[in-house]
Amino acid sequence: MFARIYQPAQSAMQSGRGEQKWVLEFQGDKSRDIDPVTGTYRSSDTLRQLKLTFDTAEDAIAYAKAKKIPHRVIQRAAAKSIPRSYGDNFSFDRKHPWTH
């Protein structure tokens, strides 16, 4: 049983910069089989379905250490944003022309 600790990426519907929770997700030890009747994957490993959320990475690491779960922390890359104003869309010295 091995766990990943990470912050999930924001969905396309989220544009805010608020803090997101940290997730502790278990990696399955058992292989998944293909069900011959339906053709979907099946597994007897129920830990794959479990995702625990924490406010900080330190809380997630402390939980993993307390339960003696081997874990790995994955840091998310910082998003690069270019500050622009609405008026820049109509400036005469645009670097890229309109495409529509």
Quick one: which of 55, 20, 46, 48 has its CA closest to 63? 55
Banded pLDDT at 98 (limits 50, 70, 90): low
Banded pLDDT at 99 (limits 50, 70, 90): low
Per-residue pLDDT reduced to its tens digit, 31-90: 778 888 998 888 777 888 889 999 999 999 999 999 999 999 999 887 777 787 888 777
What is residue 81's predicted lDDT score, i.e. its pLDDT? 75
Q: What is the pTM of this model?
A: 0.67
Is 54 inside a domain boundary? yes
Is 36 inside a domain boundary? no
Is 98 inside a domain boundary? no
Domain that includes residue 24, residue range: 1-8+20-28+44-77
What is residue 24's predicted lDDT score, i.e. its pLDDT? 95
Is 66 inside a domain boundary? yes
Identify the CATH number of the domain in which residue 3 sits.
3.30.160.190
Arithmetic mean of pLDDT, 21-30: 86
Could you tell me which residues are beta bridge partners of residue 51?
25
* 69 and 1 Cβ atoms separated by less than 8 Å: yes
Is 52 inside a domain boundary? yes
State the sign of the Cα–Cα–Cα–Cα dihedral 51, 52, 56, 62: negative
Domain total of the chain: 1
Q: Say which residue, 96 or 9, is predicted with more confidence.
A: 9
